Structure 1
Amino acid sequence: MQKFVSYLRVSTNRQGQSGLGLEAQRGAVRNYLACIPHEHIDELVEVESGSKSSRPVLAEALAQCRREKATLVIAKLDRLARNVAFISSMMETGVDFVAVDAPYANKLMLHILSAFAEHEREQISMRTKVALAAAKARGVELGNNGKVLARQNRLAAKNFAETMRTDIECCLDQSITTYTGVAERLNEQEISSRAGTAWSATMVSRVMKRLDIKFS
């Protein structure tokens, strides 16, 4: 029987004390484990920003996995990190881990997924900057009402929306039926909006409209 140690992470003390985000992660892990023969050895919870590379609770979870020859299970890949370097360092620990949102992906595929997401976000940012610089060089006045800038903004918004498709569809798969609910779930998962801010119901509505995704 396979052994598992679960790792949950939230970014603020307020979330940790209220359970905001933790119950969703715990439920995802519970549903995954319910489908396979397993022994759930322990659950470890960390309150720390995803941008921090120092994770004492994660280090403890990895040490426990090594002692017990267990697999680390997480609800979503971004509970570890949203950058390639951190995922690469996880691979070097020698501990097997599984992300519930990509349960059939091995460590190499998880690395590729994180690399693709990071690369795509960088490319969107770069294309927008290049387009704006080119417009400025042609003497175009850059402003919210400028036709060129508006066109570039629409293109950038469409490209960004595509990067959000999987996350939003995942929310709908969890029976979330309101824009506010989707926004709250994205914020719980520390997934930033295109502007780098927290999500609102209006932002979610716009992205879903661009993707032609509707509530069932």
Structure 2
Amino acid sequence: MITHTIDVVSYCRVSSQGQGESGLGLEAQREYITRAALQNGWNIIGEFVDVVSGKLAIEERPEGAKALSLCKRAKAKLVVAKLDRLSRSVHHIARLLDQTMDFKVATMPQADKFQLHLFAALAEQERSFIASRTKEALAALQARADDGDIQSVEKIARRTAALEKGRTATNRAKASKAIQDRVSSWQESVRDPIDLCIRKGGRTLQQVADCLNGKGITTSRGSTWSSMQVKRVMQKLALTLPSKEDAL
């Protein structure tokens, strides 16, 4: 049961102007804060919204600096919907805590300073793991695309288009076609060497790979050939072995 109220300053952050104008993400943050305020007896005395990257410390953000100033003047607590709206950096969170800046997080209103510091550290570690896994997955996807896998090429094209804001559908289609054209051009460049290796006695995929490696011909990534890479490229070029392939 709520026996007293405390004054709080609501602070929301979105990363792009589009999110700020459309309310995408912003309304959800306000709802979190409003619900937590009702449940915990918080009196919202002001609201500030920034459209900036989470990499900036809150005191370096235009509206964030104003929110902190109001908190000090009114002896109020800052409240954010989620911890990452305050900062994505455990260093920034720790600095605020060390400066005795008291703040609340709507999704975990009862968390103390130690718990907030711990959550920030765990969140930063998880983001690091995700970034590493994403980088590895993209590298594998790029390798398959370089070997002529059209589905991988299309996935990269879609991802590139999604990351490039403001591009028209026509330009996205052109970008996708340009990527496929580069792959097709490279595939055609190795058609004759592969065909020559087959004509010189290559009867298995591995023999063709060994032949290409022996000639110093590399894959599109500059590495040596494997039987699987040969298979993929031969399928795209509609090339076949004169005898039954060895099992891979």
TM-score range, shorter chain: 0.5 to 0.7
Post-superposition shift, 1:81? 1.5
Q: 1:36 aligns with which of 25, 28, 40?
A: 40
Alignment-mate amino acid for residue 49 of structure 2: V
Contact 1:65/1:95 (8 A) holds in 2: no
2:111: which partner in 1? 105
Alignment-mate amino acid for residue 76 of structure 2: A
Post-superposition shift, 1:79? 0.4
Alignment-mate amino acid for residue 40 of structure 2: I
Per-residue CA deviation, residues 96-136 of structure 1 (Å, 9 max, x unaligned), is 11111222211221111111222244356669999xxxxxx
Q: 1:45 aligns with which of 44, 49, 54?
A: 49
Contact 1:4/1:72 (8 A) holds in 2: yes
Give aligned pairs, total.
143
Higher relative contact order (CA 8 A, sep 6+): 1
Change (3 A) 1:38 1:115: closer
Q: How does 1:33-112 map to 2 (within 5 A)?
A: 33-53=37-57, 54-112=60-118
Per-residue CA deviation, residues 158-203 of structure 1 (Å, 9 max, x unaligned), is xxxxxxxxxxxxxxxxxxxxxxxxxxxxxxxxxxxxxxx7xxxxxx
1:15 and 2:9 correspond: no
Structure 2 stretches lacking a partner, 5+ long: 137-142, 146-162, 164-248
How many angstroms apart in 2 are the aligned matches of 1:38 and 1:71?
9
How many angstroms apart in 2 are the aligned matches of 1:17 and 1:128?
29
- SS at the partner of 2:123? helix
Higher-helix-fraction structure: 2
- SS at the partner of 1:85? helix
Contact 1:72/1:96 (8 A) holds in 2: yes
Across the aligned residues of Structure 1 and Structure 2, the Cα RMSD in angstroms comes to: 3.3
Change (3 A) 1:56 1:128: closer
Change (3 A) 1:129 1:45: closer
Post-superposition shift, 1:16? 1.3
Structure 1 stretches lacking a partner, 5+ long: 131-141, 145-196, 198-216
Change (3 A) 1:32 1:122: same
How many angstroms apart in 1 are the aligned matches of 2:24 and 2:44?
22
How many angstroms apart in 1 are the aligned matches of 2:130 and 2:44?
41
Contact 2:33/2:81 (8 A) holds in 1: yes
1:26: which partner in 2? 30
- SS at the partner of 1:101? coil
Change (3 A) 1:127 1:93: same
How many angstroms apart in 2 are the aligned matches of 1:13 and 1:128?
26
Most deviating of 64-73 and 95-104: 95-104
Change (3 A) 1:91 1:99: same
How many angstroms apart in 2 are the aligned matches of 1:35 and 1:101?
12
With structure 1 as the length reference, what TM-score do the two structures score? 0.56
Post-superposition shift, 1:18? 1.8
Computing the radius of gyration from Cα coordinates, the structure with the larger value is 2
